[in-house]
């Protein structure tokens, strides 16, 4: 997933019957619902260490790592004379 600085990210787990959802970045829990929303994304949200763990009736499944790329906004400056 690639987004621009300031955008919002909305990720939705495909599993509909899970009792628990755990979104992590670098092992740190960042969400615990079926839908993970990150508002006003910054460059610090970029990483290749995101995972999702779901639990359904005592059975767990963990995704492989996935990547979120964050592209900085272009530096819009003008030069010249009038």
pLDDT band at 82 (very low <50, low <70, confident <90, very high): low
Q: Are 48 and 65 in contact (CB under 8 A)?
A: yes
pLDDT reading at 24 higher than 90: yes
Global pTM reads 0.85
Q: pLDDT tens-digit profile of 47-73? A: 999 999 999 989 999 999 999 999 998
Helix, strand and coil percent figures for the chain, each rounded to 5: 5, 50, 45
């Amino acid at each position: 997933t690639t987004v621009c600085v300031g955008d919002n990210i909305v990720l939705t787990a495909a599993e509909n019957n899970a009792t628990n959802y755990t979104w992590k970045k670098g092992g740190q829990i960042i969400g615990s619902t079926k839908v993970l929303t990150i508002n006003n994304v910054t460059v610090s949200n970029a990483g290749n260490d995101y995972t999702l763990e779901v639990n359904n009736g005592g059975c767990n499944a963990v995704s492989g790592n996935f990547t979120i790329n964050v592209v900085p906004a272009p530096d819009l400056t003008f030069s010249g004379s009038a």
